[in-house]
A and B are shown apart, each in its own frame.
Chain A
Amino acid sequence: MDINLTLIGQTIAMVFFVWFCMKFIWPPILEAIETRQQQIEDGLAAADRGEERLIAAREEAEDIIKDARQQATSILDQANARANEIVADGKAAGVKERERQLVAATAEIEQETNRAREELRGQVSAVALAGAEKILNREIDAASHEDILGKLASEL
C-alpha cells in the first residue's frame, strides 16, 4: 500500500506505451478503417448509380424494341402494299400482253386469210379461164382478157 518508486516506473511505462500507440498503432489502423469506410461508401454509391443506369438502360431497350416493332410493322405493311402492287402490275402486264398477242394473232390470221384468199382467187380465175376455154372451145387470148378476169376474180 505504500507509495514508492513503482509509481514513477508505471508513469514512464505508460508514457512509452501511449507514445508507441500514438506513433505506430493508431494511425495505420484508423486510416485503414477510414479508407474502408470510404470504399464502402463509394461502392454503395456505385451500386446505386449502376441500378439507375440499369433502369435507364431497360427503358431505353423498351423504347428501342417498341420502335423496332413499329418499324417492322410498317415494313410489313409496305411489303404487303408492294406485293399487291406487283401482283396488280403483273396482272395488268399480263392482260396487256394477252391483248397484244391477241392482236398479233388476229392480224396474222387475217394476213393468212388474205393470202389464202389471194391464192384462191388466182386459182379460181385459172379455173374460170379453163372453164371458159372449154365452154367456148376456142382459145381465148388470156392476155387480152386479163383485166376482165382480174375484175371477176376480185369480185369472188
Chain B
Amino acid sequence: MATEGAKTSGEYISHHLQNLQVCPDESGAWVWNQCAGNPMAINVDSMFWSVLLGLVFIWIFYGVARKTSAGKPSKVQAVVEIIIEFVDGAVNDTFHGNSKLIAPLALTIFVWVFFMNLMDLVPVDWIPELAAAGGIAYMKVVPTTDVNITFGMSIAVFLLIIYYTIKNKGIGGFIAELTLHPIAPPTKGIGLLAAPLIIAFNFILESVALLAKPVSLSLRLFGNMFAGELIFILIAMLGLWQLPLHFGWAVFHILIVTLQAFIFMMLTIVYLSLASETH
C-alpha cells in the first residue's frame, strides 16, 4: 500500500505504529487519539486484541478441559495435551518446588504470548484498512509490539518473584538476598566499619539485578516483535517486491514468534524457581 493517496512513507509508518488511544483530557472528558504523553491513556487496540486473544486461549483450552477424558482423546485435545505436556516438562525440569501456580502461569504466558505474536503474520494492512473503513483511525493489531502490554506481563511476573522470595525465604531472607550478596560483609573486627558501605554496594548491585529481570523480560519480547512488525511495514511499501519478501520474512518470523513466546515462558519459570530455591 505504498501508493496510499497522499501519504508519504513516513506518515504510512507512523500511522501503523500509532495506537488507538482514549484518555481523559484536562476537563475530565474522554477524548480519542489526543493522548500523547498522557499517563491515563488506554491503548484500546492493544487491550482489545490482547484480551480477545486471551479469550481465544481460554476458549480453546477450556473447551478441551470441560470435555476432557482419560480415554481416547479428540484431535483438539491431543494438540492441547501436547502443549500442556511440553509446558509441564519445561516446568518440571526447571522448577523443583511444589507450586500449583507456576505451571498454569507458564502455560498461559506461552500460549497467550504466542497468539499475540502470531498476529504479526496477518498482513500489516488488512486489519487497519478494515478498521479505517469502519471509521477507526488507528489499529495496531500486534499487542506485543506495545511496550505497555509486555511490561504489564513482566510486572506481574516481577510481583510473583518478590512474592515467592518472601514466601520461601521470609522478609529477612529477601532483604539478606538484596544486601549480603555478592560480597559478604565482615561480621567482626575492624572490617565492621566497612560493613555499611559493602551493604550499600550490594544493595545497589542486587536491586539492579532484580529490576533488570522484568525490564529485560519485557523489552526482549517488545523489541523482537516491534522490529519484526517494522520490517513487515517496510516490506509492505515495496510494491510487488513485497510478495516474495513478505513470504520470506513471515517464514522466518514464525520462528521468532514461537521462540519469543518460549523464552518469555522459560525465563518466567527460571526466575520463579530462583526465587523459590533456598540455598
Q: How many contacts A-B (CB < 8 Å)? A: 135
Contact assessment for B152 and A6 in the assembled complex, using a CB-CB cutoff below 8 Å: yes
Query: Is A1 an interface residue when CB atoms closer than 8 A count as contact?
Result: yes
Contact assessment for B58 and A5 in the assembled complex, using a CB-CB cutoff below 8 Å: no
Q: Mark A1-30, 1 if CB is under 8 A from B, else 0.
A: 111111111110111111011101110111
Query: Is B43 an interface residue when CB atoms closer than 8 A count as contact?
Result: yes
- Supposing A6-B146, A7-B152, A9-B152 touch, asked if A22 and B100 sit within 8 A by C-beta, the answer is yes
A26: contacting residue among B35, B40, B84, B152, CB under 8 A: B84
B148: contacting residue among A3, A20, A25, A32, CB under 8 A: A3
Contact assessment for A18 and B105 in the assembled complex, using a CB-CB cutoff below 8 Å: yes
Contact assessment for B104 and A22 in the assembled complex, using a CB-CB cutoff below 8 Å: yes
Contact assessment for B104 and A7 in the assembled complex, using a CB-CB cutoff below 8 Å: no
Write out the residue numbers on chain A whose beta carbons fall within 8 Å of the beta carbon of B149: 6-7, 10
Interface size on B, residues (CB 8 A): 53
Classify the secondary structure of A's interface with B.
helix
Classify the secondary structure of B's interface with A.
helix
Most chain A CB inside 10 Å of its own CB: which residue of B23, B65, B88: B65
CB distance from A7 to the nearest CB of B (A): 4
Write out the residue numbers on chain A whose beta carbons fall within 8 Å of the beta carbon of B104: 18, 21-22, 25-26
CB distance from B46 to the nearest CB of A (A): 6
Query: Is B131 an interface residue when CB atoms closer than 8 A count as contact?
Result: no
Write out the residue numbers on chain B whose beta carbons fall within 8 Å of the beta carbon of A4: 21, 23, 35, 38-43, 148
Interface residues on A, range: 20 to 34
A35: contacting residue among B39, B70, B85, CB under 8 A: B70
Cα A66 to Cα B106 in complex, Å, equals 65
Q: Which residue of B lies closest to A22 (CB)?
A: B104
Q: Which residues of B contact A (CB under 8 A)?
A: 21, 23, 35-43, 46-47, 50-51, 54, 57-58, 61-62, 64-66, 68-71, 73, 77, 80-81, 84-85, 88, 100-101, 103-105, 107-109, 112, 143, 146-149, 151-153, 155-156
Q: Which residues of A contact B (CB under 8 A)?
A: 1-11, 13-18, 20-22, 24-26, 28-33, 35-36, 39
